[in-house]
Amino acid sequence: MAAPAGLPPLVVLAGTTASGKTALSLALAEELRARGVAVEIVSADSRQVYRGMDIGTAKATVQERARVPHHGLDLVDPDQPFSVADYWACAGAALAGIAGRGAVALLVGGTGFYLRSVARGLAVDDLPWDPDVRASVEARLATEGLAALVGELRELAPTRAAAVDLRNPRRVVRAVEIARLRGDAPLPEPRGYGRPVLWLGVQVEPPVLRERIHARARAQFDAGLVEETRALVARFPATLPSFSGIGYAESLALIEGRLTRDHAIAQDARRNIAFARHQATWFRREPDIRWLDATRELPLEEALSATQRYLAV
């Protein structure tokens, strides 16, 4: 990803959960392709990398992937570790292929760190790692729980703790590993993408977004989220950090009799609403995002116009 000659034009489509990013990315890609522009989508979602986690992560369906080529999905099993450095490497390989085919890349997702690692060129390979330290951190997570690690992170690296999703076990584990190795030192400076990037953001007015999140939670349970979870925990330990994700934790609680169906759906929605607020806070810190209002309808024309101007330059 370092050589500009090997980089495709890059359009970032960012936004919170349930904001309509997937629908807009598909529509935009198809409109561009109708105008003779080859487009491929690269997912930037930290949960969609897991195989078998389809319904709960709102992953693009097989039919949707047949419409537009997708990358960054189904990369590892739920029991395999996967870091932002792993994502950066996978995305880099995908972008090199897209460039070789003369296509435009749409980087689509709500995982801000993934988006930033690619589109701003975070030097994730410069961050320290140590297998023994990682094993120690993972062991503490298993024995003492996430709250203990969050407390350690806040003590070792309060600045970093303020920027990490403290509800995400994998992010906290990695942050504690880095903090043990380098304290609260700032992250390496971004290197840049290597060519201009168009940042588009999809936003929805909060009351409407909350309604969408509630409706999607119920729709996912109706579509078989509990059955998907049951099939996964038959193959993998239910204690894996990946099963703490929104939707799967609630489905597991329903399977184990700790929540009723209605309470599981309500808790799923509450957690997603809180997650959307966290995402919105992250994206407010990102410069140069052109925000598109998707409250009432898909902002396809505005996205298409901005993309065409970017490609013309």
pLDDT digits (tens, 9 = 90+) for 114-130: 999 999 998 877 777 77
Do 297 and 200 lie in one domain? The reply is yes
Do 72 and 34 lie in one domain? The reply is yes
What's the number of domains the chain is made of?
3
pTM of the predicted model, to two decimals?
0.86
Q: Give 3: exposed, middle or buried? Use CB within 10 Å, 0-12, 13-18, 19+.
A: exposed
pLDDT score at 219: 98
pLDDT score at 1: 39
CB 223 within 8 A of CB 55: yes
Q: Which residue has the tokens 């013309």?
A: 312
Please tell me the distance from the alpha carbon of residue 253 to that of residue 179, in angstroms, as a whole number. Answer: 33
Residues of the chain with pLDDT under 50: 1-4
By DSSP bridging, strand 197-203 and strand 10-15 are: parallel
Q: Which residues of 227-264 are buried (b: 16+ CB within 10 A; e: fewer)?
A: ebbeebbeebeeebbbbbbbbbbbbbbbbeeebeeeeb
Please tell me the distance from the alpha carbon of residue 268 to that of residue 210, in angstroms, as a whole number. Answer: 12
pLDDT score at 127: 76
Do 197 and 49 lie in one domain? The reply is yes
Instruction: Kindly report the number of other CB atoms within 10 A of residue 118's CB atom.
Output: 27
**Residue-range definition of the domain harbouring residue 214:** 207-277
CB 117 within 8 A of CB 84: yes
Please tell me the distance from the alpha carbon of residue 283 to that of residue 37, in angstroms, as a whole number. Answer: 28
pLDDT score at 4: 44
CATH number, domain of 177, equals 1.10.20.140
pLDDT score at 5: 55
Do 45 and 114 lie in one domain? The reply is yes
pLDDT score at 276: 94
Do 135 and 96 lie in one domain? The reply is no
Contacts of 310 (CB under 8 A, 6+ apart): 9, 11, 196, 198
Do 54 and 143 lie in one domain? The reply is no
Do 21 and 116 lie in one domain? The reply is yes
CATH number, domain of 217, equals 1.10.287.890
Do 117 and 46 lie in one domain? The reply is yes
CB 16 within 8 A of CB 208: no
pLDDT score at 53: 98
CATH number, domain of 308, equals 3.40.50.300
Do 264 and 146 lie in one domain? The reply is no
Do 211 and 233 lie in one domain? The reply is yes
Please tell me the distance from the alpha carbon of residue 111 to that of residue 279, in angstroms, as a whole number. Answer: 8
- DSSP, residue by residue, 75-91: -B-TTS---HHHHHHHH
Please tell me the distance from the alpha carbon of residue 293 to that of residue 205, in angstroms, as a whole number. Answer: 8
Evaluate whether residue 282 is within a structural domain: no
